[in-house]
Amino acid sequence: MAIKINDYTKSREWFSRATKVIPSGVYGHLGPAEGNFMPVTSFPLMGDRAQGTYFWDVDGNRFIDYMCAYGPNVLGYNDPDVDAAAIEQLKKGNCMTSPSYKMVEFAELMVDTVNCADWAFFAKNGNDVTTAAIMTARNATHRKKIVFVNGFYHGVSPWTQKIDYPGVIPEDVANNLYIDWNDFDQLQQVFDDNKGEIAAFISTPYMHGNYLDNSLPADGYWKKVRELCTANGTVLIIDDVRAGFRLDIAGSDHFYGFEADLICFCKALANGYNVSCLCGKDFLKGAVSGLSYTGSYWMSAMPFAAGIACVNKMKQLDIPTMFREKGLKLTNGLKEAAANNGFNLVVSGEPALFYLRIADDDSLFIHQDWIQECVKRGVFFAGHHNHFINAALTDEDINFTLEVADEAFKAIRPKY
Amino acid sequence: MTDSKTLAYINMYAVLGTLENLCELDENARALLKNKKPVSIGLEVKDGPAATLMFKNGYCRMEDGCRSDCTIKIPFSSCEKFNGMIDGTVTPVPTKGLMHIGFLLKSFIPLTDLLSKYMRPDPKDLEDRAFFEMSTTLMFYTIAVAIAQIGNNDAIGKFSADHIVDGDILMSIGDKISATIRCKNHRLITIKKDMGTPRSLMKFCDMDLARALFDGKVNAVACIGEGTIIMGGMISMIDNVNRILDRVALYLA
């Protein structure tokens, strides 16, 4: 039986209202432009509710959500344990003049959990802590330059953007240096050319950038990078905002067998409650202490309580093993569905954060067409971003996804 | 945050290059060239662009480089001087073809005046639908060519072009007006038609939307959400072309 095709009438109505009072209707990564909704008519624009691995839009369409709110949904939406801890703390006190002792408990838990952590510094979004990491590195080294990996995304502050981005001036990025992923020789050259000037090398643990197949670190890459940074007095920052906890509860640097000096967490940290965390080694504790860097809600207690419950539950469930298994089961099934319909679906990155690309043309038109056919049938994939597994995803959900994927392949087959 | 060399390339290929489209689309433009012998104007800018405008049978074609057999040759000692001619502050002095000065005065200058009328229109003129559509079409071609010139010459534009993979990017207004921006080794060239096999596309739904975008009255991101701009294919190409497009307004303002 054919799967129902979604109608988005109310989504369009709400979006139309939004455009009158909100710049571009929905800005940023959840919006149709950055979210690459192609065509926009195939995608939901406004959500209504969520539970477990699903969200429902304002038209009542249900989606199996492989974007997980772009990462925060790690245990399942409305996880009862996390929500109970959060609500209990909310009743006791949230945003107060004295921070709750929950902050101390959470920091202790982070130090116990994250392999390279001697301390924890909390904020709200990933960008807050990547910026804290850069400022810490500059404060500690008294150097200006930062090395980035091409294809990077480390947030939205001007230093994280590029010279051609709207609102960015050349001076914002004047001290940014760029190398290609996995190219240690290039990194070595940049270090040689900028001897004594590089404050930090910042990178995600593997290349999970957008618009390209994701790429794992080459054998020995991180060991050599670690040695190079140490030898040059450069701070090694791992941006684990996206992959954090999904590969390894102790941090993705631990997963790949090295130790970062600073590591940034956000998304999976508190199952949707707004908190981010910078962890680091003892020798940088003074440097981060000296920063003038804070925010009105950074020490709110409710997200700390949620974070404690979330980290403990992720440990209890052994999230990394579970996500690897679920990710492999799903992606192997998707590849099989593609092959059965004569398409070549390339799956890259780690299974817990799989990236998809149909490789039958070099333009991605086929890929985009397949993605929208899946979304129209209730499986929310993104066109050009890695996906996320969550703990509430069941075998039944995976089987339904594969059914949708197969029907979507069949729907586009006549066109290609 | 602009430079005179990039502006000279835009003025040469995007602005004067649009004379091709003006002559093709506007009867008044063709009338200015009617019953005239073929004339070619070579424009050569020191440390800048060089091109030849060829007028024949009422039509105009631009060729890259200053042809040695051009009828009229106008050299410029700098990009600033050439840009000055375009904005009317520098009077060009031909070094060849003085006997054709009549063409310059009676045909070429009226043609460029007509182009200016469409490119910098009086708001009242835009109330006439035919004028509005002509003006918008010519602006579209000018912008499409300017994108390539900025991507090849402007320091920040080159940064964007460095992130564009090889292939064709189709820009269009509806299904009628198209231009292809071809990228090879991060160098861009604009072909003022649909070349048929784009690797990515950006389509403005109609003339009114295109005009509103060109005039800065609507934002492209908002339009994508509303479905009035459709994009597809290799989105990183579109993303970087859009960053260059942001700079077009700086130069053409």
Select from A285, A317, A349 the last residue of a domain.
A317
Decide if B222 and A32 are in contact by the 8 Å CB cutoff.
no
Q: Are residues A86 and A178 in the same domain?
A: yes
Domain that holds residue A407: 9-77+319-415
Alpha-carbon Rg for chain B in angstroms = 18
| CATH code, A142 | 3.40.640.10
Decide if A368 and B233 are in contact by the 8 Å CB cutoff.
yes
Q: Are residues B73 and B9 in the same domain?
A: yes
| CATH code, B115 | 3.30.1050.10
Mean pLDDT in residue range B43-61: 96
pLDDT in tens, B83-139: 999 999 999 899 999 888 899 999 999 999 999 999 999 999 999 999 999 999 999
Tell me which chain A residue has its CA closest to the CA of residue B161: A164
Q: Is the dihedral of CA B190, B196, B202, B207 positive or negative?
A: positive
Helix, strand, coil in percent for chain B, rounding step 5: 50, 20, 30
Tell me which chain B residue has its CA closest to the CA of residue A21: B222
In a domain? residue A299: yes
Select from A297, A317, A337 the last residue of a domain.
A317
Q: Give pLDDT, residue B34.
A: 86
Domain count within chain B: 2
Q: Are residues B115 and B157 in the same domain?
A: no
pLDDT in tens, A245-283: 999 999 999 999 999 999 999 999 999 999 999 999 999
Q: Give pLDDT, residue A176.
A: 98
Identify the bridge partners of residue B170 per DSSP, sorted by sequence position: B180, B201
Instruction: Write the residue in A32, A162, A362 that is nearest to B224 by C-beta.
Output: A32
| CATH code, A334 | 3.90.1150.10
Q: Are residues B80 and B167 in the same domain?
A: no
In a domain? residue A2: no
Instruction: Write the residue in B156, B219, B230 that is nearest to A164 by C-beta.
Output: B156
In a domain? residue A144: yes
Residue of A319, A318, A324 whose CA lies nearest to A351:
A324
Select from B96, B119, B142 the last residue of a domain.
B119
Q: Are residues A264 and A339 in the same domain?
A: no
In a domain? residue B168: yes
Q: Give pLDDT, residue B35.
A: 84
Mean pLDDT in residue range A324-335: 98
Q: Which chain B positions have a beta carbon within 8 Å of A362's beta carbon?
A: 167, 199, 234
Count of C-beta atoms within a 10 Å radius of residue B130? 8
Decide if B244 and A383 are in contact by the 8 Å CB cutoff.
no
Q: Are residues A392 and A290 in the same domain?
A: no
β-strands A176-179, A62-65 pairing: unpaired
Q: Are residues B227 and B181 in the same domain?
A: yes
Cα–Cα–Cα angle for B46, B47, B49, rounded to 5 degrees: 80
SS3 B99: helix
* Side-chain-side CA neighbours of residue B21 (13 Å): 28
Q: Give pLDDT, residue A211.
A: 87
Domain count within chain A: 2
Cβ–Cβ contact B224 with A under 8 A = yes
d(CA B87, CA B253): 12
Decide if A23 and B219 are in contact by the 8 Å CB cutoff.
yes
Mean pLDDT in residue range B175-191: 97
In a domain? residue B143: no
Mean pLDDT in residue range B18-44: 94
Q: Is the dihedral of CA A26, A41, A71, A350 positive or negative?
A: negative
Higher pLDDT, B91 or A350: A350
In a domain? residue B87: yes
Residues 23-42 of A with CB under 8 A from B: 23-27, 31-34, 36-41
Q: Which chain A positions have a beta carbon within 8 Å of B180's beta carbon?
A: none
Tell me which chain A residue has its CA closest to the CA of residue B223: A24
Q: Would you say residue B31 has pLDDT above 70?
A: yes
Decide if A39 and B227 are in contact by the 8 Å CB cutoff.
yes
Q: Give pLDDT, residue A1.
A: 67
Q: Are residues B200 and B243 in the same domain?
A: yes
Residue A373 pLDDT class (50, 70, 90 cuts): very high
Decide if B243 and A25 are in contact by the 8 Å CB cutoff.
no
H runs (alpha helix) in A102-217: 102-113, 126-141, 184-193
Decide if A363 and B225 are in contact by the 8 Å CB cutoff.
no
Select from A300, A317, A334 the last residue of a domain.
A317
Question: Which pair of structure tokens corresponds to residue B117?
Answer: 């009328």
Mutate to test the interface with B, among A164, A165, A369 (most CBs of B within 10 A): A164
Q: Are residues A309 and A324 in the same domain?
A: no
Q: Give pLDDT, residue B220.
A: 87
Sole residue written with tokens 């006549």: A414
Q: Could you give the percent of chain B with pLDDT greater than 90?
A: 89
pLDDT in tens, A170-185: 999 999 999 999 999 9
Q: Are residues B106 and B185 in the same domain?
A: no
Q: How far is CA B182 from the centre of its chain?
A: 15
Instruction: Write the residue in B160, B226, B232 that is nearest to A38 by C-beta.
Output: B232
Mean pLDDT, chain A, rounded, equals: 97
pLDDT in tens, A224-239: 999 999 999 999 999 9
Q: Are residues A231 and A280 in the same domain?
A: yes
pLDDT in tens, A1-41: 689 999 999 999 999 999 999 999 999 999 999 999 999 99
How many interchain CB pairs under 8 A, A with B? 78
The CA-atom distances, in angstroms, between A13 and each of A37, A388, B6 are 17, 29, 44
Mean pLDDT in residue range A128-154: 97
Q: Are residues B12 and B73 in the same domain?
A: yes
Domain that holds residue B97: 4-119
Q: Could you give the percent of chain A with pLDDT greater than 70?
A: 100
Q: Which residues of B47-75 are buried (b: 16+ CB within 10 A; e: fewer)?
A: ebbbbbbbbeebebebeeebbeebbbbbb
Q: Are residues A355 and A404 in the same domain?
A: yes
Q: Which chain A positions have a beta carbon within 8 Å of B157's beta carbon?
A: 164
Q: Are residues B183 and B90 in the same domain?
A: no
